[in-house]
Amino acid sequence: MTVATLRLELLVTDCTTQREKRRRMRAILDKLHRHFNVSVAELDEADPRHARLAVAAIGRSRREVHETLQRVSEAIAAHPRAALLSQIITEV
């Protein structure tokens, strides 16, 4: 079994307050969790325009886990209200 994590840094557009950002990020996190069956958490970020996410996945093979995390990254990059700034996949 393989466990890997994905760290994403996002620029969230059209958010001026922490409350707006939390609402928007909650919707994104819930969709990722439901669609890809991964664990997703928002890391603390004080700036309402930036967000950092941590995604964890487990699978039978290294390839399967990396493909899942890559698809998560592509889904975030395609999101209209969040721009992907950076991504890092780390195998645990």
* Domains present along the chain, CATH in parentheses: 2-91 (3.30.70.1120)
Query: Which residue(s) pair with 12 in the sheet?
Result: 82
Structure tokens at 42: 């928002």
In tens, the pLDDT along 4-49 reads 999 999 998 888 888 888 898 899 999 999 999 999 999 977 788 8
What's the confidence (pLDDT) of residue 17? 86
In angstroms, rounded to a whole number, what is the distance separating the alpha carbons of residues 87 and 8? 5
